[in-house]
């Protein structure tokens, strides 16, 4: 059984192609999202701060290897139903990566097969595997 090859950006890929996208994604590094919203369970506006979590925004591929970009999100607890929920943040519910990355995946899957989307994202310097692309495409079929 062979081990999978480590992903790295092709040396022939022009830096212009991936550098600007990676710089854009790096601007999100260590952002803090604390804008409250009403409770998604009971729609109450009574809340208290519960904790702050560190959430993965995306993984980028650099010449030195993978680099994780994390953001911080405030968690609130509803005073009425006692359930916890996140502040408004650029994430879809139950999805690991952030909305901009997921939206890019969905845009690419509209015209390309899953394995091709993985290769395109590799050229752009974003680490996503084919199975993740497939699961996002199936979960958001109506959005594509």
139: Cβ contacts below 8 Å, ≥ 6 apart: 95
Give pLDDT, residue 143. Answer: 75
Give the start-end residues of each E strand in the chain.
32-33, 47-62, 65-78, 84-86
Residue that has been written with the tokens 């109450």 in this structure: 44
Q: What is the C-alpha radius of gyration for the chain, rounded to an integer number of angstroms?
A: 18
132: Cβ contacts below 8 Å, ≥ 6 apart: 96, 97
Report the C-alpha dihedral over residues 125, 92, 129, 142, rounded to 10 degrees.
-110
| pLDDT per residue of the chain (144 residues) written in tens, 0 to 9 | 455 567 777 788 888 888 888 999 999 999 999 999 999 999 999 999 999 999 999 999 887 888 999 999 999 999 999 999 999 999 998 889 999 999 999 999 999 999 999 999 999 999 998 999 999 999 998 776
Give pLDDT, residue 3. Answer: 59
The span from the CA of 96 to the CA of 59, in Å, is 11
């Amino acid at each position: 059984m062979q081990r999978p090859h480590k992903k790295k950006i092709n040396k022939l890929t022009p830096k212009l192609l991936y550098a600007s996208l990676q710089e854009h994604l790096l601007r999100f590094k260590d952002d803090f999202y604390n804008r409250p919203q009403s409770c998604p369970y009971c729609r109450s506006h009574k809340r208290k701060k519960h904790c702050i979590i560190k959430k993965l925004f995306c993984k980028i591929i650099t010449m030195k290897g993978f680099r994780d970009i994390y953001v911080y999100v405030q968690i609130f607890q509803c005073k009425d139903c006692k359930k916890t929920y996140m502040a408004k943040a650029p994430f879809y519910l139950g999805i690991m990566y952030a909305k901009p990355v997921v939206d890019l995946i969905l845009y690419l899957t509209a015209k390309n097969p899953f394995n091709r989307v993985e290769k395109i994202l590799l050229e752009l310097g974003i680490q996503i595997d084919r199975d993740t692309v497939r699961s996002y495409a199936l979960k958001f079929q109506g959005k594509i």
